[in-house]
Amino acid sequence: ILFYRLIDRILVALTWRLFNLKLGLIFGLIFIFTPHISAYSITAGSYGFALFFFSLALLFYFWDFNKIEKSTQIKKNFRLGGGSIFFALAFLCRNAFLLSFVPFIIYDFYKTKSLKRATVFIIPFVILVGAVLIPDFLAGYPHKYLGKYIGQKAEMFGWDGHCFPDPYTYYFEREEYVNKVRDTARGDVASHLLKYGHKLSFKSKVLIYIDSTKYYIKNFFRLITFGGPVMIAFMFVGLLYLFKQRRNLFNLFTFWFIFWLLVLIYKKTSNYNHFLEVSFPLILLSSLGIYQLFKYLNTTLSISQNKKYLFISFLFIAILGHLIIANKWVFHERYNTSKIDKVLS
């Protein structure tokens, strides 16, 4: 939990840098009470280190996003290279963060048209990742996600929780389980059956992509992810503000989200934890929408300033209360799906 609070402080500083302190404080509180952030903050060994390094990467990259002309080239390259190193560390902690590094490379090159800047951005990432992974590959150590690109078989990686319900089924009842679920498998189970070389019908293959699309759209709007339709509505308000006032951020955030979603669907995934990879831009958008609402109320309400502050404070507490209730339901669902009652019985 304390580790996620540190991540929160880094992203608050980044929001302050990009916008202002008031929005930074709003973002900090919304981030803390966002349901899927709360759920993973108590899960040791999950996304903690990856999010920490990724937050530092964002801080380095965005530090001069609004004030590029005020920095020397050396400082720009230092921050760009530093960001690349932290992107690499995030990727080494969780390979899925590669999906959030590639959009930055593409957008940055599209915006600047500078091969030199792209080189500074990419080379530290390649060197650090190569220094870690190449010795493992040369030694023959299996890599669950990248090994298939160098000829490693899926069976080298042992039990796969995406496909098989438990290690016993994988090691002792694999064929019986596959024969049982082959014709009805959907989502992650179906996609991993393909990975293990099992043949599926054309209809099943198409359904994998449909299921993946439905999964991410459905869970994006769920109460237990970002807070449901209320917070999604604030996201669209924030997105509209960026479109009108900060087109550079609008372009980056929309491209980042679309790229992330399309690749996840192409890879036939259906994993709730992938929402953590785009938590910063989405929570920032909802915080920005809330901030714009408060600014509008402050300028339009025909009451005394003290009453305005009191009303806006009450409204913000109500929003946080909504997120607290959402937190209650996310923990309720995690308990119901954990099978902990069977373990303890």
Q: Model confidence over 303-325: pLDDT tens digits?
A: 888 999 999 999 999 999 999 99
| Residue 344 pLDDT | 63
Residue by residue, DSSP assigns 278-332 as GHHHHHHHHHHHHHHHHHHHHHH--S-HHHHHHHHHHHHHHHHHHHHHHHHHHHH
Which token pair is 67?
Answer: 């004030």
Q: How many Cβ atoms from other residues are within 10 Å of residue 52's Cβ? A: 19
Q: Worst-scoring range by mean pLDDT, 22-26, 190-194, 225-229?
A: 190-194
**Higher-confidence position of 231 and 140:** 231
Q: Worst-scoring range by mean pLDDT, 24-28, 216-220, 336-340?
A: 336-340
Q: Please state, in angstroms and rounded to a whole number, the distance separating the CA atoms of residues 11 and 28.
A: 8
| Residue 142 pLDDT | 62
Q: Please state, in angstroms and rounded to a whole number, the distance separating the CA atoms of residues 94 and 90.
A: 6
**Higher-confidence position of 47 and 163:** 47
| Residue 143 pLDDT | 64
Q: Worst-scoring range by mean pLDDT, 62-76, 144-158, 283-297?
A: 144-158
Which token pair is 59?
Answer: 């801080």
Q: Average of pLDDT values for 27-44?
A: 89
Q: Please state, in angstroms and rounded to a whole number, the distance separating the CA atoms of residues 113 and 110.
A: 6
Which token pair is 327?
Answer: 């937190």
Given a contact cutoff of 8 angstroms between Cβ atoms, the answer to whether 202 and 12 are in contact is: no
The amino acid at 323: L
Assign 218 to helix, strand or coil. Answer: helix
Q: pLDDT of 254-303, one tens digit each?
A: 999 999 999 999 988 888 889 999 999 999 999 999 999 999 999 998 88
Which token pair is 120?
Answer: 């500074």
Q: pLDDT of 172-221, one tens digit each?
A: 777 787 777 766 666 667 777 776 667 777 777 788 888 889 999 999 99
pLDDT band at 252 (very low <50, low <70, confident <90, very high): very high
Given a contact cutoff of 8 angstroms between Cβ atoms, the answer to whether 110 and 77 are in contact is: no
Residue 87: which region, alpha, beta or left (left: phi > 0; alpha: psi -120 to 50)?
A: alpha
Given a contact cutoff of 8 angstroms between Cβ atoms, the answer to whether 109 and 118 are in contact is: yes
| Residue 71 pLDDT | 63
Q: Please state, in angstroms and rounded to a whole number, the distance separating the CA atoms of residues 160 and 328.
A: 30
| Residue 41 pLDDT | 86
Given a contact cutoff of 8 angstroms between Cβ atoms, the answer to whether 230 and 209 are in contact is: no
Given a contact cutoff of 8 angstroms between Cβ atoms, the answer to whether 238 and 30 are in contact is: no
Q: Average of pLDDT values for 118-140?
A: 88
| Residue 24 pLDDT | 95
Rg (CA), the chain: 22
pLDDT at 86 over 60: yes
Rounded alpha-carbon distances, angstroms, from residue 104 to 42, 88, 107: 29, 13, 5
Q: Worst-scoring range by mean pLDDT, 59-73, 120-134, 248-262, 265-279?
A: 59-73
| Residue 5 pLDDT | 86
| Residue 150 pLDDT | 58
Q: Please state, in angstroms and rounded to a whole number, the distance separating the CA atoms of residues 316 and 298.
A: 13
**Higher-confidence position of 37 and 334:** 37
| Residue 7 pLDDT | 93
Q: Please state, in angstroms and rounded to a whole number, the distance separating the CA atoms of residues 140 and 153.
A: 12
Q: Which residues contact 195 (CB under 8 A, 6 or more apart)?
A: 148, 154, 163
Q: Average of pLDDT values for 107-128?
A: 93
Q: Please state, in angstroms and rounded to a whole number, the distance separating the CA atoms of residues 339 and 285.
A: 35
| Residue 285 pLDDT | 97
| Residue 157 pLDDT | 46
| Residue 164 pLDDT | 72
| Residue 156 pLDDT | 45
The amino acid at 27: F
Mean pLDDT (the chain, rounded): 85
| Residue 287 pLDDT | 97
| Residue 145 pLDDT | 61
